[in-house]
Chains A and B, each alone.
Chain A
Amino acid sequence: MPLTIPTERWTAHVQTATIGATEAEGGTRTSTVTIGGEQTLPFLHFEGETPNRPVIAIEVLDEQPSGWPEPLSRHYEDVWGDPVAWAQKAVEEFGADLICLRLVSANPEGSDASADECAETIQSVLNAVGVPLIIWGCGNDDKDNEIMPFCSQAAAGERCVLGSATQDNYKTICASALADNQMIISESPLDINIQKQVNILVTDMGMDLGDIILYQVTGGLGYGVEYAYSILERTRLAALDGDKMLQMPMLSIVGSEAWRVKEAWQPEEEAPEWGPLEKRGIIWEAATATLFLHAGTDILVMRHPEAVTHVRNHIDEMMSGQPV
């Protein structure tokens, strides 16, 4: 007797979003990234269309980081004093679909870079690479509110994604996004209700539903990913069920979280049962990324080029619709 595979028919689908604007669209990007549009849960091609493949953004910091484990830092030591060179390497050598530029130098407890300096960095990076840009603040609300309007203005016309709007601080970033036609990251502390609440607050301010990317704050593998997975999955299910406030594409920060965990940097002498340090961080990052991919993430923000390769191959396989 032939086996009929039961299929779900969803009444709604995920919103589609295009990041980046080409010359014809008023920007200077040589490529754009279109995500979302899923009609069903991840990769169930027999059930519905997945018109756009998930993409990988590589993280670029605007100043040299410290404390990165050697297996990771060796790939960036030659460029990490210069965000332009870093971005170029990420695109040309490692194949990033987008660049996620973090303006860590603006942190008042660090270099306290000015709004003008940040704007200049953004302009340089935009001139150096043709892929779309995610622009993320330093994490200090007051400082981010100061620099974001300038950063957004520096990238006017390029359809960037500005990060991030939170429940307690969303007004400035929305105002900037509305003024310069940018998109925003809507951030939630791994709570599906708060995610929705932030979306309601920003749409009340005038943001269009189509200009929002969802971001739940998650840890790396081993640090509560089961719960994170369930929140992302619930979000995707709500979207497919028709909840307009949760229908946007999702983003997950993988690189920084995976490389923070001790499994990624503890020397072999101290943890011989964990195997070679060479591989650990890469596996950790690739596994975390894959996990979130299958929960429904559309943009993965990653670091290590090998992890990126593994994940990209995996996306190829999953998108081919063919058994592996």
Chain B
Amino acid sequence: MGALTVTFEDYGIAAPAEAGETILEVATRAGVGIATYCGGHGICCQCQVVVTAGQVQPKHEAHWQQWPTPDGKGIRVLACQSVVTEDITVKVPIGSRAEDFVVHQMAPLKANLVDLSRFEPLSPLAQQFVLDLPKPTLEDSVTDMDRLRRELLHRETKLEPITIDLPVLRELPQALRENDFQVAVAVSDIGLARKISAIRPPAAADSSLGLAIDVGTSTVAVQLVDLDNGQVIGRAIRRNGQIAYGEDVISRIVWTQKSPEQLQNMHRAIIDTLNQLFSYLYNEYNATPDEVIAASVAGNATMINFLLRIDASPIRRSPHTPPATEIPVFTAEQLGLNIHPQGAVCVCHPAVSGFVGGDITAGVVATGMHEAEELALLVDVGTNGEIVAGNKDWLICASCSAGPAFEGVGVEAAMPATAGAVTNFDYNRDRDAVDYQTIGNQPPRGIAGSGLVEMIASLVEAEVIDRTGNINADFPSGRLQRSDDELGFVLFNADETAIGEPIIIYQHDIENLLRSKAAVLAAINVLLGKLALAPADIEHVYLAGAFGAGLNVDKAVAIGLLPDIARERIEVVGDTALAGAYLTLMSRQAREQARATVKAMTYLDLSSDTDFMDEFIASNFIPHTDLTRFPSVST
């Protein structure tokens, strides 16, 4: 290994390389984080690097791209398309660094979504019992296992039936005798039974921790929870490491089919992401893996199947049936998750279909729309873009494949909602200036989901773009730029940003965002149409996913992301999947509701719907081709 050397100047790393490898492959192995969303296919153009010494060869002659650098030194190329055939030196521009792959703190979830009083009494996925067992005698000579069972059932008759796995059974006799028959017994709720997962000294019961996990396609979020009282100890988020293999579920499924090892790589990527998140929380809050005895997971069908290392390829082909949506509870060691090895990992929220997953059913349970009288709409604007309409009497869902534009993928100026992300944005035409707010009040690094919505609303109002999203080539401002035949608009100059480069929105970015919002609006309109409902009939809209609580919902309607519904009915709810995972972590009743909700949901397949395409084109306009549908939006 390593006849050649790639020197990464900014990192001081001289990485060994084989002739024929791409810069991206070398960098990944050497721990140099270069951003990529398309899995190295040369599509997303995120992995731009500057080769300052030596020559690279194109991976594909026909698709080779290179750009000059402002200072004329070196050439700018895509790391994934540049093949190393001699020693080279590479600079990784700030904008190409995969810093989003770092764990970040996460804001708390909305209180009404995680209100455990809906489910009193608490019945977490795992709990510990401190038992003072009578020692075996000739008169009381029941087996160790029966002794345990007997005592547990004394405490709580509802624990019947009780089972145990072999690894724990092997430890049982010693564990009891070493602790003089005074033990802390951890018991997991695996649905059909309770399973003894640990037998430890009584002090172990001082701390019973659990994790609520949202395995999102683009972003993974985790909460560390005290199982005794439901208190949230800490939260963290990180980009899903699988992004290196594709930005959406379909491209990831395609990746796994390249060869048998790729499914293993895909599985490893999410396990590593999760373990990194856990390590962060353990360090921050002085916890150890052995204290964590349960985890509740929400995610879409593809994410769950990859978590379990199951081949998800049937999802890709008609009729798109996933291998499984109801998943048995398994143990952490079966997956390599860094919590107590026998800790129960429960995918508590089954998926509805290949495209409406447990993350959505989790959102339904979290919002409580399945128990409410009012007619509600849950709109989860993530990569997959799912909609649920209904109430306690009926539920219908659909997925519109919105694309991750609002999550920050495929839009050059976009970024996840971490420090430096612009969340509020207004361009003032008269002053030719931007008023804005960022997370952490730091100089802008990029635009977050809510910032993107507000940006579009602001640009169309200022007539920088027209209703189809075309940038006005005659707009009287120096912010207007033309590069390579494409118009762009400078949102922040280089001296205003934290990344040393200007933040620019390009024509193709706007088109991506409009298409995403068109898919969401079209799905809502088609769904409502099928139900013979009008937007005015919706009493509550839960806007979940890529937007923080600070989103101005007026702007969301102004651009036509949502129909023209009274603004006070629209609630921005954030990560409802994580909220749902938390509720099912803490409550058996919530777990039962989750399963019942899935059975109650009807899935509407938009991919074969003749109205959807028509409505999608109509929605690809600000706010919509039929302006009469948006009476409260001034024209």
> Which residue of the partner chain, among A171, A191, A193, A201, contacts B467 with CB atoms under 8 Å?
A201
Min Cβ gap B540→A in Å is 29
SS class of chain B's interface: helix, strand, loop or mixed?
A: loop
Whether B470 and A168, one on each chain, are in contact in the complex, defined by CB atoms closer than 8 angstroms, is yes
CB under 8 Å from chain A, chain B span 435-478: 466-468, 470, 474
| A201 with B468, Cβ < 8 A, contacts A171-B474, A196-B625 known | yes
Question: Which of B118-126, B338-346, B588-596, B614-622 makes up part of the contact surface?
Answer: B614-622
> Which residue of the partner chain, among A191, A192, A197, contacts B468 with CB atoms under 8 Å?
A197
Whether B466 and A204, one on each chain, are in contact in the complex, defined by CB atoms closer than 8 angstroms, is yes
Min Cβ gap B635→A in Å is 8
Is B627 located at the chain interface by the 8 A CB criterion? yes
Q: How many residues of A contact B (CB 8 A)?
A: 12
0/1 interface trace, chain A 147-185, chain B, CB 8 Å (1 if under): 000000000000000000001100100000000000000
Closest to B627 in A: A200
CA distance A191 to B617 in the complex (A): 9
Is A194 located at the chain interface by the 8 A CB criterion? yes
| A197 with B474, Cβ < 8 A, contacts A167-B468, A191-B617 known | no
Whether A204 and B617, one on each chain, are in contact in the complex, defined by CB atoms closer than 8 angstroms, is no
CB under 8 Å from chain A, chain B span 603-626: 614, 617-618, 620-621, 625-626
Whether B468 and A193, one on each chain, are in contact in the complex, defined by CB atoms closer than 8 angstroms, is no
Question: In the complex, what residues of A have CB within 8 A of residue B614's CB?
Answer: 192-193
0/1 interface trace, chain B 515-548, chain A, CB 8 Å (1 if under): 0000000000000000000000000000000000
Closest to A192 in B: B614
Question: In the complex, what residues of B have CB within 8 A of residue A167's CB?
Answer: 468, 470
Closest to A243 in B: B626
Question: In the complex, what residues of B have CB within 8 A of residue A197's CB?
Answer: 467-468, 621, 625
Q: For chain B, which range describes its interface: under 10, 10 to 19, 20 to 34, or 35 or more residues?
A: 10 to 19
Min Cβ gap B617→A in Å is 4
CA distance A167 to B468 in the complex (A): 8
> Which residue of the partner chain, among A168, A171, A193, A201, contacts B617 with CB atoms under 8 Å?
A193
| A200 with B625, Cβ < 8 A, contacts A193-B614, A193-B617, A194-B617 known | yes
Closest to A196 in B: B625
CA distance A193 to B624 in the complex (A): 10
SS class of chain A's interface: helix, strand, loop or mixed?
A: helix
CB under 8 Å from chain A, chain B span 564-616: 614
CA distance A196 to B614 in the complex (A): 13
CA distance A171 to B466 in the complex (A): 11
Whether A193 and B470, one on each chain, are in contact in the complex, defined by CB atoms closer than 8 angstroms, is no
CA distance A192 to B614 in the complex (A): 9
Question: In the complex, what residues of B have CB within 8 A of residue A192's CB?
Answer: 614
CA distance A191 to B614 in the complex (A): 9
Question: In the complex, what residues of A have CB within 8 A of residue B617's CB?
Answer: 191, 193-194
CA distance A216 to B620 in the complex (A): 19
Closest to B621 in A: A197
CA distance A167 to B469 in the complex (A): 10
CA distance A200 to B474 in the complex (A): 19
Closest to A167 in B: B468
CA distance A33 to B468 in the complex (A): 33
> Which residue of the partner chain, among B467, B474, B618, B625, contacts A204 with CB atoms under 8 Å?
B467
Min Cβ gap B324→A in Å is 40
Min Cβ gap A74→B in Å is 43
Closest to B466 in A: A201
CA distance A191 to B613 in the complex (A): 11
CA distance A191 to B466 in the complex (A): 19
Min Cβ gap A191→B in Å is 6
Min Cβ gap A95→B in Å is 39
Min Cβ gap A234→B in Å is 10
Min Cβ gap A202→B in Å is 10
Question: In the complex, what residues of B have CB within 8 A of residue A200's CB?
Answer: 467, 621, 625, 627
CA distance A168 to B468 in the complex (A): 9
Question: In the complex, what residues of A have CB within 8 A of residue B627's CB?
Answer: 200
Min Cβ gap B625→A in Å is 5
Question: In the complex, what residues of B have CB within 8 A of residue A201's CB?
Answer: 466-468
Min Cβ gap B482→A in Å is 13
CA distance A200 to B560 in the complex (A): 16
Min Cβ gap A246→B in Å is 10
Whether B618 and A193, one on each chain, are in contact in the complex, defined by CB atoms closer than 8 angstroms, is yes
CA distance A59 to B387 in the complex (A): 51
CA distance A44 to B423 in the complex (A): 57
0/1 interface trace, chain A 186-226, chain B, CB 8 Å (1 if under): 00000111101100110010000000000000000000000
Min Cβ gap B476→A in Å is 14
CA distance A193 to B466 in the complex (A): 16
0/1 interface trace, chain A 271-297, chain B, CB 8 Å (1 if under): 000000000000000000000000000
Min Cβ gap B522→A in Å is 11
Question: In the complex, what residues of B have CB within 8 A of residue A204's CB?
Answer: 466-467
Question: In the complex, what residues of B have CB within 8 A of residue A193's CB?
Answer: 614, 617-618, 620-621, 625
CA distance A204 to B461 in the complex (A): 13
Min Cβ gap A53→B in Å is 31
CA distance A221 to B467 in the complex (A): 34
Question: In the complex, what residues of A have CB within 8 A of residue B466's CB?
Answer: 201, 204
Closest to A234 in B: B614
CA distance A258 to B614 in the complex (A): 28
Closest to A168 in B: B470
Question: In the complex, what residues of B have CB within 8 A of residue A171's CB?
Answer: 474
Shortest beta-carbon contacts, A-B, top 7? A193-B617, A193-B618, A193-B625, A196-B625, A197-B621, A197-B625, A167-B468
Q: A192-B614, A197-B625 are in contact. List 13 more A-B contacts (CB 8 A).
A: A167-B468, A167-B470, A168-B470, A171-B474, A191-B617, A194-B617, A196-B626, A197-B467, A197-B621, A200-B625, A201-B466, A204-B466, A204-B467
Residues of A at the B interface (CB closer than 8 Å) are 167-168, 171, 191-194, 196-197, 200-201, 204
- 26 sampled A-B residue pairs with Cβ under 8 A: A167-B468, A167-B470, A168-B470, A171-B474, A191-B617, A193-B614, A193-B617, A193-B618, A193-B620, A193-B621, A193-B625, A194-B617, A196-B618, A196-B625, A197-B467, A197-B468, A197-B621, A197-B625, A200-B467, A200-B621, A200-B625, A200-B627, A201-B466, A201-B467, A201-B468, A204-B466
